[in-house]
Amino acid sequence: MTTPLPLRPDFTQYQQQAEDLLQAATAGDTNALSRINQEPARNDTPALTDAQLAIATEHGYEDWDRFERVVDLIEPFRAALYPGDADTIRALLKQAPELAVSEPWPSAPGYKPIEGVSSGCVWHRPQQTQIAGMFVDAGAQCSITIAARAGLVDHVRRLLDEDPSLLNSHDRTGRTAMYRAGCVFGNFPEGEAVVDLLLERGATLDFYVACTFGMLEEVERMLEADPTWATRLDPDGMTSLHWAIRHRRTEDPQRPVGIVRALVAAGADVNAINPQEEEMQPIHHCGEWSGWPEQAALLLEHGADINATAGNGWTPLDYANDRGRKEMALCLQSHGGTVSGIAGSESHD
């Protein structure tokens, strides 16, 4: 286990630590000698470079120069990761490729940049595939599930060519590559291409992916074999109904509405909470995600609360107005939908 860097590392402090370590080792301190891998019986005097190498190694770096580069650049690098600033990240990696394998978040030891940039909503990180590719090129380890979530289609293909057994493997949180690529927030064509590749290679179809991809026949078949799919939670605590509302690859309402109907008939909870996003219920996703009005009407028919409030206090109509979903806003209003008064948005009718 390496020692993580603090939030705002200061290289002068590490220089002082190296000098202090050298002083202790020179005085014969056994712990200090052990840290610099020098036996107490050795006759030669330890050097400052020995102490510097020890500190660099303890933080996961092979030499002092690489360690210095990372310490100096880790703050701007971390700041560029969340918004997905590809230009800044490219420039920083050019100066210090080691950043690609650093651990930039002190509160999450072992969590690498490629994991951070390949998580969350792709709306917020439209350049995530490009950035993840930079990290791989710079030497970052990239599992099939991370590659799938990052949309690295060629990397997924290469991993499967090398080891076909990865096809249905799970990451440490229980997610498969198909789930990671298919169940995302936002428009993600690279992820859809990964799902296609996995299916071509014979991967087991993920039920939640089937729901969001509008695969009505497959959903009906899986529900017939095991109706509990309708009430299960995915690895993120969401239900299949949430994913059915977040439809993709559907140009008409027939399939996504049919999936909602099948899920509700099998016992899906129309008021289930999405713990990953503002505690939304499926009816909120109708406004937020541009669900079909027919889906909203079906949810309401089966007991959804037209004016339910999400964790931020917003109603379904708030989301529809905020996202400019005029048709959905009209649908919700026709069923008695109102705004919360706290969303800061007006009706777009």
Map out the domains of the chain as residue ranges. Answer: 1-39+48-119+127-140, 143-204, 207-334
Looking at residue 100, its pLDDT comes to 97
Give the lowest-confidence range in 145-149, 189-193, 290-294: 290-294
Residue 245: both structure tokens together: 């509302």
Total residue count of the chain as it appears in this document: 349
Burial of 183 (0-12, 13-18, 19+ CB in 10 A): buried
Q: Is 80 left (phi over 0), alpha (psi -120 to 50) or beta?
A: alpha
Banded pLDDT at 42 (limits 50, 70, 90) = low
Instruction: Give residue 348's pLDDT band: very low, low, confident or very high (50, 70, 90).
Output: very low
For the cut 50, the answer to whether the pLDDT of residue 117 exceeds it is yes
Q: What pLDDT does 279 receive?
A: 94
Partnered with residue 239 across adjacent β-strands are: 233
Give Cβ neighbours of residue 19 (< 8 Å, ≥ 6 apart).
Answer: 48, 51
Question: Is 57's pLDDT higher than 50?
Answer: yes
Cα 117 from Cα 140, distance rounded (Å): 12
**pLDDT tens string 10-22:** 999 999 999 999 9
Taking only the tens place, the pLDDT of each residue in 58-96 is 999 999 999 999 999 999 999 999 888 999 999 999 999
**Secondary structure, 3-state, the chain:** CCCCCCCCCCHHHHHHHHHHHHHHHHCCCHHHHHHCCCCCCCCCCCCHHHHHHHHHHHCCCCCHHHHHHHHHHHHHHHHHHCCCCHHHHHHHHHHCHHHHHCCCCCCCCCCCHHHHHCCCCCCCCCCHHHHHHHHHHCCCCCCHHHHHHHCCHHHHHHHHHHCHHHHHCECCCCCEHHHHHHCCCCCCHHHHHHHHHHHHCCCCCCHHHHHHCCCHHHHHHHHHHCHHHHCCECCCCCEHHHHHHCCCCCCCCHHHHHHHHHHHHCCCCCCCCECCCCCECHHHHHHHCCCCHHHHHHHHHCCCCCCCCCCCCCCHHHHHHHCCCHHHHHHHHHCCCCCCCCCCCCCCC
First-to-final CA distance of the chain: 58
Give the other-Cβ count within 10 Å of 228's Cβ.
Answer: 9
d(CA 157, CA 160): 5
What mean pLDDT value characterizes the chain? Answer: 92
d(CA 39, CA 43) in angstroms, rounded, equals: 9
Q: Among residues of the chain, what percentage have pLDDT more than 70?
A: 94
pLDDT at 188 (0 to 100): 86
pLDDT at 121: 62
Whether the per-residue pLDDT at 41 is higher than 80: the answer is no
Mean local confidence (pLDDT), 134-157? 96
**Tokens 């993840």 -> residue:** 132
pLDDT of residue 120: 63
Residue 227 identity (one-letter amino acid):
P
At residue 139, the pLDDT reads: 95
C-alpha–C-alpha distance, residues 119 and 133, integer Å:
14
Average the pLDDT over each of 13-17, 42-46, 111-115 and give the range with the smallest value.
Answer: 42-46
pLDDT (0 to 100) of residue 197: 98
Neighbours of 252 (CB within 10 A): 10
- State which amino acid sits at residue 220: E
What CA–CA distance (Å, rounded) separates 271 from 284?
A: 10
Mean pLDDT of 151-167: 97
> pLDDT at position 209, please?
97
Q: For position 125, what pLDDT does the model report?
A: 62
**207-334 CATH fold:** 1.25.40
Which phi and psi angles does 137 have, rounded to 5°?
-65, -30
Give the mean model confidence (pLDDT) for residues 18-41: 86
Residue pLDDT, tens place only, 257-283: 999 999 999 999 999 999 988 999 999
Confidence of residue 250 (pLDDT cuts 50, 70, 90): confident
